[in-house]
């Protein structure tokens, strides 16, 4: 964030969030042909956006700088992932004491900073075991923090609270402080159950003025059965026969809807997967959920090339076509990002996709797609000096 603040294009964190949410939700609505009211309409935010600008509100152009959280999304993601990994390893018969993992180097700063801030804010100490209720509470707070609800999928109601509603670092901090005000929650996770998840989530979100995560999940799941664009998109997801129109957006939104449907049924699995994928708790249902939500693509240790996963119920032909259309779209996004944000000429380094340095045919395709999208030839763009800071 501090790096972005130095950019002449940065107009405030609140402005940036409204712009990011507005452009993203608009792309989703247009790419998926959603009907009015199925997801928020960013055009309806214009009046409130103008008010926040005119009043020079905190986080908006010429307004005061809002306080920033000590940690952000990356540290929370990595801390969450590391503890989920440790819970899986311990449940599968590995060491049960967290000190063992600390001694083995599992807790470099990137992987421990979020947990140590959680301990500091909740006035608690490092627990001994992988399944201690404190670890469960930390992971639940991570889950709530990284899944804001306003802007998408729910509409914005309190624009003055936008930053604290959607900023992951702010959410994490406020949720930890809420947990500190209810110290009994430190012992609240005993069985890692859905009942515990819902009860603790209710208490924390009520204290912070946030939506319960179930509200957003239910709003998304309620769209299924519309007999229109949502059902059509989910049929594409079922077969992987996605339309070749902004395919990356359609693919990710379809998976998001599928994720919401499954998380509404099993919130505890998605909050504490390490506890449910090994040991006594694992069943064929958990294994199926894990497979259903694996990444679509993977790499290998011996090459940088990206490969599709085999997916049950999807034909090899559809999987191959998905890879082609998905990454064709990603090539255009890569060039568009360079065009708008990076100085100097275009760089056509697509080794990350093919594992090869010579990608003449792919470069030609990327240039063709860029021209199709924007009506401009990459090689005819005039270079200009970036603005001075």
Domain residues of the chain, as ranges? 1-214, 316-380
Per-residue burial over 126-165, b = 16 or more CB atoms within 10 Å of its CB, e = otherwise: ebeebbbbbbbbbbbbbbbbebbbbbbbbbbeebeebbbb
DSSP 312-358: TT--HHHHHHHHHHHHHHHHHHHHHHHHHH--SS-----HHHHS-S-
pLDDT for 373 equals: 85
Q: How many CB atoms lie within 10 A of CB 219?
A: 17
pLDDT (tens digit, 0 to 9) for every residue of the chain, 389 residues total?
566 777 777 889 999 999 999 999 999 999 999 999 999 999 999 999 999 999 999 999 989 999 889 999 999 999 999 999 999 999 999 999 999 999 999 999 999 999 999 999 999 999 999 999 999 999 999 999 999 999 999 999 999 999 999 999 999 999 999 999 999 999 999 999 999 999 999 999 999 999 999 999 999 999 999 999 999 999 999 999 998 888 999 999 999 999 999 999 999 999 999 999 998 888 999 999 999 999 888 877 777 777 888 888 899 899 988 888 888 888 888 999 999 888 888 999 888 787 788 889 889 989 998 998 889 898 888 887 766 65
pLDDT for 387 equals: 60
The SS3 call for residue 189 is coil
Quote the tokens at residue 292: 């259903």
pLDDT for 1 equals: 53
pLDDT for 246 equals: 87
DSSP assigned state of 131: T
Identify the H or E element spanning 284: helix 284-292
CB 311 within 8 A of CB 240: yes
CB 237 within 8 A of CB 198: no
pLDDT for 388 equals: 60
């Amino acid at each position: 964030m501090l790096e972005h603040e130095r950019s002449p294009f940065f107009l405030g964190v609140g402005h940036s969030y409204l712009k990011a949410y507005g452009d993203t939700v608009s792309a989703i609505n247009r790419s998926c042909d959603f009907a009015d009211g199925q997801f928020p309409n960013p055009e309806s935010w214009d009046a409130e956006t103008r008010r926040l600008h005119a009043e020079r509100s905190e986080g908006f152009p010429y307004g005061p700088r809002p306080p920033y959280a000590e940690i952000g999304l990356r540290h929370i993601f990595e801390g969450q992932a590391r503890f989920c990994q440790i819970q899986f390893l311990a449940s599968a018969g590995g060491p049960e004491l967290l000190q063992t993992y600390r001694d083995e180097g599992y807790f470099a700063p990137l992987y421990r900073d979020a947990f140590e801030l959680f301990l500091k804010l909740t006035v608690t100490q490092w627990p001994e075991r992988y399944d201690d209720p404190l670890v469960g509470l930390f992971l639940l707070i991570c889950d709530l923090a990284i899944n804001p609800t306003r802007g998408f999928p729910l509409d914005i109601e309190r624009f003055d609270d936008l930053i604290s509603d959607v900023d992951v670092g702010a959410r994490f901090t406020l949720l930890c402080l809420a947990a500190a005000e209810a110290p009994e929650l430190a012992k609240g996770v005993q069985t890692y159950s859905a009942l515990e998840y819902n009860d603790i989530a209710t208490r924390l979100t009520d204290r912070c003025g946030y939506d319960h995560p179930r509200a957003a999940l239910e709003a998304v799941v309620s769209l299924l059965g519309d007999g229109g664009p949502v059902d059509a998109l989910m049929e594409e997801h079922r077969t992987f026969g996605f339309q070749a129109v902004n395919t990356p957006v359609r693919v990710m939104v379809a998976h998001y809807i599928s994720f919401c449907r499954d998380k509404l049924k099993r919130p505890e699995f998605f909050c504490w997967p390490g506890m449910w994928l090994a040991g006594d708790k694992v069943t064929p249902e958990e294994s199926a959920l894990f497979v259903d939500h694996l990444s679509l693509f993977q790499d290998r240790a011996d090459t940088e090339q990206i490969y599709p996963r085999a997916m049950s119920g999807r034909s090899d032909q559809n999987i191959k076509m998905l890879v082609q259309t998905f990454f064709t779209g990603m090539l255009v996004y890569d060039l568009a990002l360079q065009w708008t944000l990076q100085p100097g000429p275009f760089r056509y380094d697509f080794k990350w996709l093919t594992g090869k340095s010579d990608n003449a045919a792919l470069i030609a395709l990327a240039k063709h797609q860029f021209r199709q999208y924007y009506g401009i030839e990459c090689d005819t763009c005039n270079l200009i000096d970036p603005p001075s800071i």
